[in-house]
Structure 1
């Protein structure tokens, strides 16, 4: 049995690791393992199985090591390339910026002009809003003054009407009191007049009654005297 599973020439390693060139070698290794004829009943055959497995492992390690070496070499070259690329990008970026600087400066100036114009427009809009708010506040204040003035006039008119009504009510009360006083005085005079008449009538009635009583007494006395004289006459006549 060969010492190595598969022999690959050094010059073919680069090709093996590019353009999927490693696949044929893996396929070949699989075929060797698949076609391996073994007999587990003999120590020699079992040793060959172990040797085959070891060769597969060593083949893997060898291929991986070669790949690492290639990658390390590529990394060194890639680092040099990246360094050159970085330098190229930086210098060409500077050259690009330098070539565009006049236009960039002009664009920056235009942006600054636009910014200043925008700030000016915003300031004008704010001032216009302030002026509008100020005018609105003035109109609202004027409206408030008119409302206050109208309310003051209305209050003054209402107060005037109230005072006039109070004066009318006072005059009416005074007139009512005056009329009541006059009526009371008239009633008192009338009551006194009627009382005087009543007193006079009572006095006249008393005098008339006294006269009538006196006349009646005189008449009764005369009648009694006449009766007494008659009785005396009769008595004397029959004595």
Structure 2
């Protein structure tokens, strides 16, 4: 019995690996292997079974290798095909671009022309739109002049009707806006003049009021100064009167003191004279009693001073 279950060299990979081809080959191998009688009861039979199993594995490896080689060939063929496809694409793309270039250039110019017209139309149509709610007359006039200048010698081509309509509508709207702006400016001017007059009147009234207040304050100040002067004069007069009264009182006090002192002096002098008379009388009474004048004087003096007990002079 040959070891090969199938003659690999006779097989064509394209047939084996075509749809259904592998099924037929494997079915033939299965039929061949299953048709072989085996004997598990003897060593020779068991060896034959092992050899048959190895033969199946070997056949599997060979068939798989055949498929692997076939796949490698197919991949190489696919790469070759892809390279040729790329060449076809690149060359024909270049040819297409070469053929289309004049058309592309024409379309670019056409689109630029259309974009330019549409940008100009958009500028006209947006001319009435301002960033602020109430644009000035100068700003509106500038837009209006610009819109009017965009008609002129410009060839609008297929956009001519739309451009003319847009220019008319925008010019009409801008003219109305311009009139409104002039009206606003005139109204603002009138209001400003009115406000200026009102402010001038307010300033004049304020000045009059300030002058009146100044006069009132000056009069009040004059009256205050006059009152203070009068009060100062009264205080000065009262102070002078009080000073005069104080001086008079002081003079009177001094005079009274002098009078009292004089009276006291006169009283003392009178008393001294009175006492002298009495003392002289006592002395005169003592001298006849045998006392000398000096001794009599000494006795009288001692009695007057209280140096002699139980004896006093009755003045």
List gaps (5 residues or longer) in structure 1. 1-34, 226-239
Q: Which moved more, 1:160-169 or 1:188-197?
A: 188-197
Deviation at 1:152, TM superposition (A): 2.2
The aligned residue for residue 289 of structure 2 is: 223
What CA deviation, in whole Å up to 9, does each residue of 1:157-195 have, x standing for no partner? 322222122112111111111211222222233233323
Matched, 1:201 2:267: yes
Matched, 1:123 2:189: yes
The aligned residue for residue 58 of structure 1 is: 87
Deviation at 1:82, TM superposition (A): 6.6
Matched, 1:190 2:219: no
Q: What is the Cα-based RMSD across aligned positions, in Å?
A: 4.1
Q: TM-score, normalised by structure 1?
A: 0.59
Cα separation, 2, equivalents of 1:48 and 1:97:
63
The aligned residue for residue 232 of structure 1 is: none
Cα separation, 2, equivalents of 1:80 and 1:181:
127
Classify 1:204/1:81 alpha carbon distance in 2 versus 1 (closer, same or farther; 3 Å).
closer
Q: TM-score, normalised by structure 2?
A: 0.47
What CA deviation, in whole Å up to 9, does each residue of 1:108-159 have, x standing for no partner? 6544433332221121122122222222222332332233233323322322
Matched, 1:161 2:227: yes
Matched, 1:213 2:279: yes
Cα separation, 1, equivalents of 2:225 and 2:99:
113
The aligned residue for residue 68 of structure 1 is: 97
The aligned residue for residue 177 of structure 1 is: 243
Classify 1:70/1:183 alpha carbon distance in 2 versus 1 (closer, same or farther; 3 Å).
same
List gaps (5 residues or longer) in structure 2. 1-17, 19-66, 118-153, 292-315
Cα separation, 1, equivalents of 2:236 and 2:217:
28
Classify 1:103/1:48 alpha carbon distance in 2 versus 1 (closer, same or farther; 3 Å).
closer
The aligned residue for residue 37 of structure 2 is: none
Cα separation, 2, equivalents of 1:81 and 1:200:
153
What CA deviation, in whole Å up to 9, does each residue of 1:45-69 have, x standing for no partner? 7875554334322332354245324
Cα separation, 2, equivalents of 1:217 and 1:39:
194
More helix by share: 1
Of 140, 146, 151 in structure 1, the residue corresponding to residue 206 of structure 2 is 140
Cα separation, 2, equivalents of 1:133 and 1:157:
35
Q: Which moved more, 1:157-166 or 1:52-61?
A: 52-61
Deviation at 1:42, TM superposition (A): 11
* Count of aligned pairs between the two proteins: 189
